Structure 1
Amino acid sequence: MGNYSLDNPAAGTVWITGAGSGIGAALARRFAQEGFPVALSARTEAPIAALAAEINAAGGQARAFALDVLDRAAVFDTVRRITDWQGGIAVLCNNAGLNNPHRHWDHIDFAEWDAVIATNLSGAINVIAATLPVMRAGGGGVMIHTASLAGRHHMPAAGVPYGASKHALVDLSASLNAAEGRNGIRSTALCPGEVATPLLLKRPGFDPGLMQWMIQPEDVAELALTVARMNPAVAIHEIVFAPLQRDSKRKESPMSHPVKGVDHLFLLTADLDGSADRWRRLGFTLSPRGTHSPEKGTANYTIIFEHDYFELLGVIADTQANQHQRDMIARDGDGLRAIACRIDDAHAARRLLAALGIGAEPVAEFSRPLPLPDGGTGTAAFAVTHFARQDTPAGFMFMCQHKTPDMVWRPELQTHANTARGLAGIVAVSDDPEQAAGRYARLFAAGQVTPADGGWLVATGADSAPILCLAPAAAAARWSAAALAATPASAFAAMRVAVRDLSAARAAVAAGGIATHDLPGGFWVAPADTSGVILEFVAS
């Protein structure tokens, strides 16, 4: 056996596959905190590039290597690039994995099942095979494979292809100890039960309110670090662990996740009054213009529906507080920038989210005069807290507590010539729409992910607009490449509005001199006529 040891960061690089979110991201942060250089791989580059930047900014060493583990040649090339960067690979965290919604014998989707088995098994083999020569040459190393409790015991909820592939991964790990121990290479299969990751939110019927009682990704990362630092003469073949059963405590807190749905959206524009005119021509009734505090230097118009609303937001005076908004407009132009989420109490929401491992910024409370349609003035008061930027794949997400809801949901503002009655959806475009959907779902109590409309649909709650995540090609096919290109890449691409009468809606838009384009079940309007967002009208 080699005399390889991982006593200090000089031992070499930690390579983590599936590092874009969940367990992989937690592994990266934990090893980096201990001073180890971390090489991050995932199919989509943006999340791992952002994570590498975060680690480097904190004084660590990280580099992103975008990779599909099923591309064998690319896997071997990635290993070469990692060794060129930092030398040998001390630890492999073989973490890339996949599951599918149609996971039982009564609903076989062969394409989905093939993808799960290929990623979880063939992808793992590719990564192992590429890493072995480097570890042999370096005198040893540690391979830590993210398997599952479903890889040790049949778990119906995990599904057939997932469980089968994880059983195989456990055996792969055992075979490495048998064959490679003489080369100082140790292998461990981590077999956790439910872990609070975006993947768990895709499980049909899973209650997102139970996320805080699950194993946390940071728990898995801590265990992996312990395994890596174990006496090199000891091989830990597998570790099986699961959430503690706490049914009585769960019953005491049935609504532990505080976010109930989508409250409103806002579009940021360089020309507030010009944008307001465009939306009036689309057949919407707009509130009188409201002016925020002198410190904020912004103003808005609102379009009110029964359960939610839409806001046009513009900068009317340059201030330090709106510098980031002015920078966004200068860089990307007008666009649908934010989803405000529905909560009861901002301070309580922040505390509850922290217990779920979801970061939120300090609560800001403010009020402003609200001009009323009858010429009078009221006061609207709010408390808001923003989700951490890294938790939102596109756009901004924050939570909004309405202290004076009667000042916002004015009945005289809820009648529209186009018969609009509410928000019907938001569309986000991502290179990895499935992963993006999982990350959005984590932010809602009712967050569930299902395949739909050529992408992945996130349910957000009762009487709440869902979020549809599409790949760029699917989005361009839905509308047009030109329309998609006219929306900011860092914002949401489209919003959907439900109308009572589709013919009346089309007539109202046509009366405003605005062109429409057909869509199954509705029609859409180009970003040039909406100030930077694709607007779909669909029958309610």
Structure 2
Amino acid sequence: MSASASGPRAVDHLVLPTAGLDLARQRLTELGFTVASDARHPFGTENACVYLADKTYLEPLAVADAGECAAAAKAGNMFVARDQAFRFRRGAEGFSGIALASNDAEEDDRAFREAGLSGGPMLTFSRPVKMPDGASLTASFLLAFAADLRSPDFTFFTCERKNPLPADRSALEAHRNGASGLSELLFSEPGPADFRDFLTSIVSGKPVDGGEGALSVEAANVRLTVLDPEAMEECLGLRTSTHSRGLRGQAVVFRTRDLDAAHRVLSASAVAFTARHNRLIVPPAPGQGAVFVFEDMS
């Protein structure tokens, strides 16, 4: 697939599996995030989202009812099936997927199938959402999945909102750590260039020269970067756990208006972190399945 006339796709949200929402809420609150109320999907999973001012968000995802999840996966629900596969291979904590914003998920599905990139049948569902003022709304979604069989531990899908939520989420978008949006998403893979065609097709973006051991693709709002183990260690100052093949989500980089505020919040919560190149780097922990990086955007 080539880039669309409207340009690259935008990242909508990130899927972050967790062993439980209470655990994720505690950890994300310690990191200085405002966490929305728990919300239940109609197929056995649940989330407690973190909304950012750039209109992206994090979706910590837990299993609420294992039986419902198993039945949904057996019936062809790819969202649940890929979550179950990730937990089986990688454990209950991690960074397993990216949802890209879409105005026409059915067209996305057709394009993915024609390009040989389909990740399975589409999914449509609705769920209740509780707003900060106590109001209860219904959100409806249509998802189209893409897949690269060489990369079983990461899922891409487009997300069309059939019943959009109110645009004003200011109460949920204010975070004590100063985070205002997503800047970059980091993946590990020993041969980054091997996934150039796949990523540029899915994102409809242009690759950027990232130097030796690196590949970057520009989405409309976020940079996606694939690094080999040596480049990842140089970037983060951390050694990642995998040298096997396939894309694996490793780190989320946040735009931060006030890095001092993030420093104060992390220190007050006794969260381990490293200061490096105008960034605060927080290693993964229970409830936070990826490296979190707070980047000074001043």
| TM-score of the pair, normalised by structure 2 | 0.85
Give 1:18-417 correspondences, 5 Å limit. 208-209=2-3, 254-255=5-6, 260-293=9-42, 296-305=43-52, 306-318=54-66, 319=68, 320=70, 321=72, 322=80, 325-333=83-91, 334-356=93-115, 358-390=117-149, 395-407=154-166, 410-417=169-176
Q: Measure, in 2, the Cα distance between the counterparts of 1:519 and 1:271.
A: 31
Query: 1:357 offset after TM fit, Å?
Result: 5.1
Q: Measure, in 2, the Cα distance between the counterparts of 1:323 and 1:456.
A: 28
Distance verdict in 2 for CA 1:505–1:481, change over 3 Å: closer
Partner of 2:186: 427
Q: Are 1:526 and 1:533, in contact at CA under 8 Å, matched by a contact in 2? A: yes
Query: 1:449 offset after TM fit, Å?
Result: 3.1
Q: Are 1:393 and 1:436, in contact at CA under 8 Å, matched by a contact in 2? A: no
Q: Are 1:524 and 1:534, in contact at CA under 8 Å, matched by a contact in 2? A: yes
Query: 1:376 offset after TM fit, Å?
Result: 2.3
Q: Measure, in 2, the Cα distance between the counterparts of 1:424 and 1:405.
A: 24
Task: Give 2:204's match in structure 1, choosing from 423, 436, 445.
Answer: 445
Partner of 1:478: 235
Query: 1:261 offset after TM fit, Å?
Result: 1.9
Q: Measure, in 2, the Cα distance between the counterparts of 1:468 and 1:431.
A: 13
Q: 1:375 is paired with a residue of what secondary structure? A: coil
Larger relative helix fraction: 1
Distance verdict in 2 for CA 1:490–1:354, change over 3 Å: closer
Q: Which amino acid aligns with 2:51?
A: I
Distance verdict in 2 for CA 1:486–1:480, change over 3 Å: farther
Partner of 2:250: 493
Q: 1:406 is paired with a residue of what secondary structure? A: coil
Partner of 2:77: none
Question: Which has more radius of gyration?
Answer: 1
Distance verdict in 2 for CA 1:402–1:478, change over 3 Å: same
Residue deviations 1:240-286, cap 9 Å, x none? xxxxxxxxxxxxxx35x8x6221110100112211111001100011
Larger RCO, structures 1/2 (Cα 8 Å, 6+ apart): 2
Q: Measure, in 1, the Cα distance between the counterparts of 2:32 and 2:113.
A: 42
Distance verdict in 2 for CA 1:314–1:530, change over 3 Å: closer
Query: 1:409 offset after TM fit, Å?
Result: 5.9
Q: Are 2:207 and 2:215, in contact at CA under 8 Å, matched by a contact in 1? A: no
Q: Are 2:109 and 2:144, in contact at CA under 8 Å, matched by a contact in 1? A: yes
Residue deviations 1:506-526, cap 9 Å, x none? 112222220210221211001
Query: 1:390 offset after TM fit, Å?
Result: 2.3
Q: Are 1:283 and 1:417, in contact at CA under 8 Å, matched by a contact in 2? A: yes
Partner of 1:129: none
Distance verdict in 2 for CA 1:452–1:504, change over 3 Å: farther
Q: What is the RMSD computed on CA atoms of the aligned residues?
A: 2.7
**How many corresponding residue pairs?**
284
Residue deviations 1:156-199, cap 9 Å, x none? xxxxxxxxxxxxxxxxxxxxxxxxxxxxxxxxxxxxxxxx7xxx
Query: 1:403 offset after TM fit, Å?
Result: 2.1
- Structure 1 alignment gaps of length 5 or more: 1-195, 197-207, 211-253
Larger relative strand fraction: 2
Partner of 1:515: 272
Residue deviations 1:352-394, cap 9 Å, x none? 4445554353321110011222222111110001103427575
Q: Are 1:365 and 1:383, in contact at CA under 8 Å, matched by a contact in 2? A: yes
Q: Which amino acid aligns with 2:177?
A: N
4+ residue runs over 6 A deviation = 486-490
Q: Which amino acid aligns with 1:485?
A: S
Residue deviations 1:300-346, cap 9 Å, x none? 01111123111100001112124653453244221000011111111
Task: Give 2:284's match in structure 1, choosing from 527, 533, 538.
Answer: 527
Q: Which amino acid aligns with 1:314?
A: A
Query: 1:406 offset after TM fit, Å?
Result: 2.4
Distance verdict in 2 for CA 1:529–1:355, change over 3 Å: closer
Q: 2:203 is paired with a residue of what secondary structure? A: coil
Higher deviation after alignment, 346-355 or 266-275: 346-355
Q: Are 2:49 and 2:58, in contact at CA under 8 Å, matched by a contact in 1? A: yes
Q: 1:469 is paired with a residue of what secondary structure? A: strand
- Structure 1 vs Structure 2: percent identity of aligned residues? 27
Q: Measure, in 1, the Cα distance between the counterparts of 2:14 and 2:278.
A: 23
Q: Measure, in 2, the Cα distance between the counterparts of 1:469 and 1:535.
A: 16
Q: Measure, in 1, the Cα distance between the counterparts of 2:107 and 2:285.
A: 40
Partner of 2:75: none
Q: Measure, in 1, the Cα distance between the counterparts of 2:243 and 2:94.
A: 6
Q: Measure, in 1, the Cα distance between the counterparts of 2:247 and 2:194.
A: 16
